[in-house]
Structure 1
Amino acid sequence: MGRMARCCVQSLLKLVNSFLGMVGIAMIIYSLWMFRVWLRTDESNDVPVPWFIYAILGLGASLCVITCSGHIAAETANGCCLYIYMAFVFMIFLLEAAVTADVFLNHNWQEDFPADATGNLDKLEDFVKDNFDICKWIGLSVVAVQGLSMFLAMVLKALGPHSEKYYESDDEYLPDRVPLLKNYAPPHGSEPAYGVKSDSWIVRTNSKTLR
C-alpha cells in the first residue's frame, strides 16, 4: 500500500512539475520573439539589449531548471533533492509575490523598474489590462501549481524513498533458515552447524555394535 501511494505521489509531482516547465518554455519563446523583433528595429544599433527581454529569458530558463530538478527529485524521492526543489519553488514564489505586491500596492510601480527602450513592458501592461480576467486566472493557476508541487514534494518526503533500495538481499539471510533443509551444504570455509564427531565417540559406538 505504501509503495502504491508513493508511486501515485511521484506521478502527480511529475505531472504538476511539467506545467511549470511548459510555462518556462513559453517565456523563453516569448523572450526570443521579442529579441527578434527588437533586432529588426532601427534602435537596436544604438541601444543595448533591453533588461525586460533578459528578465523574461532568465525567468523562463529558471523554471526549466526547476522542472528538471523536480523530475529528478520525484524519480529518486531523495530527501536532499526534494528540499532543493522546494527551496527553488519557494524562491520563485517569493519573487512573484514581491512583483505582484509592488504592482498592485504601488501606483508608481513603473518607476521601480529601469526604462524599457523597446516598449515591450508597456505593451505587456496594456495586454494585461485588456485581458485582465484571463491573465488573473493564468496567474492564479501558476501560483496554485507551485503550491501543489511543494505540497506533493513534502508528502513524498514524508513517505520516504523505496524501501527495497535500503534492504539487503534476502540471500544474505538464507543461512538462518537452511538448517531446516535436508540437503543443505555449508559454504566453503565455514564450520558445520553441529560440529564434527570425535574419534573416541566413533570407537565407543563400534565396540557396542560388536557386542
Structure 2
Amino acid sequence: MARIVKSCIQSLLKMVNSVMGMVGIAVVLYAMWLIWVWQKQMGESPFGDDTDGSAPWFIYTFLGLGVTLCVITCSGHIAAETVNSCCLYLYMLFVILLLMLEAVVTADVFLNRDWEEDLPEDPSGSFTQFKDFIRSNFLFCKWIGLSIVSVQGLSFLLAMVLKVLGPDRYYDSDDDYTPDRVPLLRNSVHPQTYMVGDPIYASKTDAWTIRINEKANR
C-alpha cells in the first residue's frame, strides 16, 4: 500500500513540476523573441554594447528566470524518479529560494511606491511594454501569478511528503530477502547440510566377523 501511495506522489510531483517547466520554457521563448526584436531595432548583436552603453537588463533577467525554472524542473524530475534524499533536499531548497525571491519582489512592488526608480533604464522598452500589459490585464495576470505560486508550493509539499516516505526498503527479487527482513520466513525449515568426502568402507576383519556370526546363528 505504501508503495502505491509513493508511486502516486511521484507521478503528481512530476506532473506539477512539468507545469513549472512549461512556464520556464514560455519565459525563455518570450526572452528570445525580445532579443530578436532588440536585434532588429539595433541592427547588431543584442549581446554587444549599444550606442548608449546600457544593456537591456529586462531581457537578460527574463532569460535567466526561464533557464532557472527549467533547471529546477530537471532537478525535480530527477528527485521524483530516484527518491534520493540529497536530490529532494536540493530541489526543495531551489523551490523555497524561488518562493522567497518572488515574495520579496511582490512586497517591494506593493509597499514601495517608488520601486520603478530603483531599476535602471531599459533601452529596449520591453519593460515598459510588459508593465503596461500587466496593468491593462491585471486580473488575468494576478490569477496566473497565483497559479504559478500555488504550483510551486504544491511541488514543495509533495517533495517533502516523498522525502518522509523515503525509498523502498526491500528489493523486488525473492533471492534478496533475508529472514531478518521477512518475518514469515523466520520459522522456515532450513535444509540439512551435507559434507562431501571420500566414501568410508568397512575393514575386512569386520566383514569376516559378521559372516561368522551369521553362520553361528543358523
Q: How many pairs are equivalent?
A: 198
Alignment gaps of 5+ in structure 2: 45-49, 180-184
Alpha-carbon distance between aligned partners in 1 of 2:150 and 2:64, rounded to the nearest angstrom: 22
Please give the residue correspondences for 1:1-211 in structure 2 after superposition, counting only pairs within 5 Å. Answer: 1-42=1-42, 45-47=50-52, 48-165=54-171, 169-170=175-176, 177-179=189-191, 192=195
Instruction: Give the deviation of 1:3 after TM superposition.
Output: 0.6
- Identify the structure with the greater helix proportion: 1
**Residue identity (%):** 51
Would the alpha carbon gap of residues 208 and 103 (structure 1) be closer, same or farther in structure 2, given more than 3 Å must change?
A: farther
Instruction: Give the deviation of 1:163 after TM superposition.
Output: 2.3
- 2:47 — aligned with what? none
RMSD: 3.3
Instruction: Give the deviation of 1:116 after TM superposition.
Output: 0.7
Alpha-carbon distance between aligned partners in 2 of 1:154 and 1:86, rounded to the nearest angstrom: 8
**Aligned to 1:58, what secondary structure does the other structure show?**
helix
Instruction: Give the deviation of 1:196 after TM superposition.
Output: 10
**Aligned to 2:191, what secondary structure does the other structure show?**
helix
**Aligned to 1:164, what secondary structure does the other structure show?**
coil
Would the alpha carbon gap of residues 65 and 21 (structure 1) be closer, same or farther in structure 2, given more than 3 Å must change?
A: same
Alignment gaps of 5+ in structure 1: 181-185
Alpha-carbon distance between aligned partners in 2 of 1:165 and 1:104, rounded to the nearest angstrom: 53
TM-score, structure 2 normalization: 0.79
Which has the larger Rg?
A: 2
Instruction: Give the deviation of 1:171 after TM superposition.
Output: 7.3
